[in-house]
């Protein structure tokens, strides 16, 4: 499913008009002005159901994803550090959607998002912090229950059936007296969220975040994923695009993701930026030549 048909960056004459009206000597850079249309000669991007931006570091692929995400006002978890000229640049960008029905647009807006590497790693840290907080609460409750068992106690004073807090304190006290420590903790504190390896957490974050019927921008999703996990992500993306009406626009260096059949690939290192086959990308050719040079070692296995 294609929701975003195309995205237009500001033409050179509009960029020049803005910059000529704004010249100030305190700025060394007007990025992203003069980067895509002048340096990359990129004015318009046409999308498929799976579109990939590939290029070396500094080629602008992540910046382009963030420009699209901010212009479409897509949901994002972590903030993006914008330059002073980012918002004026956004105002001059244009896009074309295939969806015009208000209800469909509302649903698309609710589901769609940009997912970055920072999101994945932040989620891993948040799970660890939540589990640490649960462990701290458990220790407090176990100590409190041990004190009740050892020294007894009168329980909460001033019991009042009309006061919800008083009722809760009374109920909690008697639960601590009657139940085992483990049962009380499980019912009142909960259990740890299951922890995974970083790669498993990363993959799970994508599968939990991506729902049917959405537009998803993925910034280098291969980060933290093993080769095996990247192949699983490839199959997940293909399935969500083919059977569940999702559209994907992503940046990547991964040959596994670049090999997705029928994906539309833009080589961001070319000037002008152009569509190409994944096997023609310089980064993929490096992998190919490397393994070809070591072919005899594989044949001995």
3-state secondary structure of 53: strand
Domain with 152, as residue range(s), is 120-188
- CA quadruple 208, 210, 216, 221: dihedral sign: positive
> Do 64 and 25 lie in a common domain?
yes
b/e sequence 2-26, b meaning 16+ C-beta within 10 Å: bbbeebebbeeeebeebeeeeeeee
pLDDT of residue 194: 57
Nearest-angstrom CA–CA distance, 69 and 77: 12
Q: Does 200 map to a domain?
A: no
pLDDT tens digits along 133-184: 555 565 666 566 666 555 555 555 555 555 566 556 556 655 555 555 556 5
Nearest-angstrom CA–CA distance, 34 and 277: 27
Tokens 């004015």: give the residue. Answer: 43
**What is the value of pTM for the model shown?**
0.77
Q: Does 195 map to a domain?
A: no
pLDDT of residue 30: 80
> Do 93 and 125 lie in a common domain?
no
Single residue among 153, 188, 223 that ends a domain in this structure: 188
CATH code of the domain containing 22: 3.40.50
Nearest-angstrom CA–CA distance, 230 and 242: 18
Tokens of 79: 């903030």
Percentage of residues of the chain with pLDDT beyond 90: 49
pLDDT of residue 259: 96
> Do 97 and 161 lie in a common domain?
no
> Do 9 and 151 lie in a common domain?
no
* 159 backbone dihedrals φ, ψ, rounded to 5°: -60, 130
> Do 245 and 281 lie in a common domain?
yes
Query: How many domains is the chain built from?
Result: 2
Strand partners, 276: 265
**CB-CB neighbours of 165 under 10 Å:** 9
């Amino acid at each position: 499913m294609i929701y975003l048909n195309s995205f237009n960056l500001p033409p050179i004459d509009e960029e020049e008009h803005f910059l000529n009206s704004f010249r100030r000597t305190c700025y060394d850079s007007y990025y992203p002005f003069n980067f895509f249309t002048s340096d990359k000669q990129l004015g318009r991007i046409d999308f498929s159901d799976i579109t990939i931006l590939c290029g070396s570091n500094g080629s602008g692929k992540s910046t382009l994803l963030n420009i699209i995400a901010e212009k479409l006002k897509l949901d994002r978890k972590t903030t993006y550090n914008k330059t002073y000229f980012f918002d004026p640049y956004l105002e001059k960008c244009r896009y074309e959607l295939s969806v015009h029905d208000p209800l469909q647009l509302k649903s698309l807006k609710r589901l769609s998002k940009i997912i970055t590497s920072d999101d994945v790693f932040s989620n891993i840290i948040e799970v660890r912090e939540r589990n640490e907080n649960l462990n701290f609460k458990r220790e407090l409750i176990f100590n409190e229950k041990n004190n009740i068992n050892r020294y007894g106690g009168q329980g909460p004073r001033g019991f009042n059936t009309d006061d919800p807090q008083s009722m809760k304190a009374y109920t909690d006290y008697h639960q601590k007296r009657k139940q085992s420590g483990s049962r009380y903790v499980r019912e009142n504190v909960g259990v740890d969220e299951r922890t995974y390896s970083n790669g498993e957490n990363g993959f799970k974050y994508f599968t939990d975040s991506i729902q049917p019927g959405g537009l998803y921008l993925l910034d280098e999703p291969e980060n933290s994923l093993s080769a095996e996990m990247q192949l699983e992500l490839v199959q997940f993306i293909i399935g969500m695009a083919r059977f569940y009406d999702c559209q994907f626009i992503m940046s990547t260096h991964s040959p596994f993701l670049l090999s997705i059949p029928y994906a539309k690939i833009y080589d961001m290192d070319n000037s002008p930026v152009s569509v190409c086959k994944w096997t023609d990308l310089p980064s993929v050719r490096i992998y190919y030549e490397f393994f070809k040079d070591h072919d005899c070692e594989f044949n001995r296995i």
